[in-house]
Structures are given as structure tokens and as C-alpha cells.
Amino acid sequence: MTMNWLFSMRLAFVLLVLLSVWFALGVSMSEQDAYRQVLRSLNDLPMSQWMQSLANAPIVASWLAGLFGLMFLLGLNTALCSWRDLLPTWRHKRWRSPRIMMLPIHILTLLVFIFHGVDLVFIHGHDSVVLQQGERFNSGRYQIELVKVDYRNDASQITEDEKGFSPAGRITRRSVEVFDPRINNAYFKVSNGEQTVSGHAGFLRPFNWGDLYITVTDFRVPYQQQAKGVQVKVLAVHNPLINYFFICYCLLLVSLLLQGLVFWRRSIKKGGRKC
């Protein structure tokens, strides 16, 4: 039985479409409270401890199994396609081939898959905590203290009621008028036992020191705790692979742009571009 279908670009296209649908299904699941709690618990645990959470959530477990299966097939398809169809282009130095940048694109994509897999299984170095001004916590070898919260929008909009809801709603759904991420910051002091540094972070605007990234994922005022001021939900990520992630993503973007340039120039030469 021939296995050529594993090398097929058609298979890659089908897998990408299925992954898009699968991710959309996952997003819709995360909007439901029961599934959201399970997904949040998985996000805070290393993969070796997932079974306990998934034992009572068969639908989430099935979704994850499908996701890993699709990702494995896509990775296998990418590796086989690179080896059989793209490597000869470089081996025979066909520098003018329109597919010259496809091999780096495939290799960088595989590296991104591998880094994500290593992070998920072996590292998983992140902590999510809620802090008041002056509080601190330990994340790996770092001690992180929230020195100051500079919240300049109307704090009454993020003040929660007895059910945990605020007028502004979830942070990802707040308008810029209600919550402007550019003007709200949290200031931190970080120590690794030998050095101490200070810096600020905002919503999806991280403070970076070495392999540590600190970002703010929410500002909130708990019910009947207005006197204590604004709380900050902090995500601290310490991952030695994180810089390699960024390098791979940047190189992948450059490779995609170069490949697009190659196709664009060929279309001009063939008269495919119309003014």
C-alpha cells in the first residue's frame, strides 16, 4: 500500500482546515463555564498532572486527543514533505527555484512544533497569581513583588459585584474608553537572589528580565474591597526556550516574506500582474 498521501500537500491543506475548525470548537468550549474551568486548570498544571482533571471531563479530553492527533499528522506531513520534495532543491543548489524558501519555512515550522512540545511536557514554567499592591510571590528562582498599581481609567467599571461580575465585563471585551491598556500599568520588583531589578508591565505588554516574562492579564476590584485598591492578575513565565521561540517565529516570518517576494516577482515576469 502506497504511503504517498502522507507527503501530499492536499493532506496538509485538509489538516490545516481541520485544525482551524478544531480550534474554533475549542474557543466555543472555553466560553462555557464548565469547560472553561477545566481548561484553566490544565493551563496551570504540567502535562503529567492532566489526567486527574481530564478524568471528569471526557469532552475536553476528546478535544485534546483530536488536537494532538491533528498536530502530529501535520508535523509528520511537514517533515516527510521537506525530506522528499524540498531537500533536493537545496542539495542540487537550485537557487532560482520558486520553492527555494519552502524548506526553511517547513524546518522552522517543525522547530516551533518541537519547542511547544518540549515546553508543554518538560518545562511548563509559568505561574498565575492575583496580587494587591505590596504583595509578592515566588516563581521558580524569582521573587516578584507588586510595588505599585497605576490604574488611570475609572476603577468603578472594574469593581465586581457579589457574583464576581463588573460593569466593564471581561478584559478582552472592554472598550478603549472603559479600559485603555496603554495607560494602565503595574510596577514590579524582581529578585533572583543575586540581583534585583524593577520594571513595569501592562495588559499583554510584558516586563522581561532574562528568561522571565511578567505580564498583566487583568485589573479588578473585588467585591466590597474598594479600600484595598485595584488588584492585578499576573502571569509570570520563566522558560529557557522562550528566546528561541521568538527567533524561530521571526525567521519564519522573514522566510514567508521572502517566499512571497519570489512568487510576486515570478508573477510579474509572466505578466500575471495587471495595473
Query: Rounded to whole angstroms, how far apart are CA atoms 198 and 209?
Result: 9
Could you tell me the residue ranges of all domains in the chain?
Answer: 4-124, 126-238
Look at the alpha carbons of 125, 129, 131, 134 in this order and tell me if their dihedral is positive or negative: negative
Look at the alpha carbons of 137, 138, 139, 145 in this order and tell me if their dihedral is positive or negative: positive
* Count of C-beta atoms within a 10 Å radius of residue 154: 13
89 grid coordinates: 532543491
Instruction: Render pLDDT for 87-97 as a digit per residue (tens, 0 to 9).
Output: 777 777 776 66
Query: Rounded to whole angstroms, how far apart are CA atoms 184 and 231?
Result: 12
Q: What SS3 class is residue 80? A: helix
Query: Rounded to whole angstroms, how far apart are CA atoms 110 and 112?
Result: 5
CB neighbour class for 176 (10 Å; exposed up to 12, middle 13-18, buried from 19): exposed
15-24, 33-42, 181-190, 211-220: least confident range = 33-42
Identify which of 213, 271, 265 has the alpha carbon closest to the alpha carbon of residue 97.
265
pLDDT value of position 130: 92
Query: Rounded to whole angstroms, how far apart are CA atoms 147 and 134?
Result: 5
Cβ pair 168, 271 in contact under 8 A:
no
pTM of the full predicted structure? 0.59
Mean pLDDT of 47-51: 76
CB-side neighbour CA atoms (13 Å) of 249: 8
Q: In what order do the strands lie in the sheet with 126-131?
A: 126-131, 231-238, 212-220, 207-209
Mean pLDDT of 62-86: 86
**Confidence check: pLDDT of 1 > 50:** no
Confidence of residue 121 (pLDDT cuts 50, 70, 90): low
**CB burial string 226-263: b at 16+ within 10 A, e below:** eeeebbbbbbbbbbebbeeeeebeeebeebeeebeebe
Mean pLDDT of 47-68: 84
pLDDT value of position 155: 92
Instruction: Render pLDDT for 35-46 as a digit per residue (tens, 0 to 9).
Output: 888 887 777 666
The 8 Å CB, 24+ separation contacts for 195-199 are 198/147
126-238, CATH topology level: Tick-borne Encephalitis virus Glycoprotein; domain 1 (2.60.98)
Cβ pair 86, 101 in contact under 8 A:
no
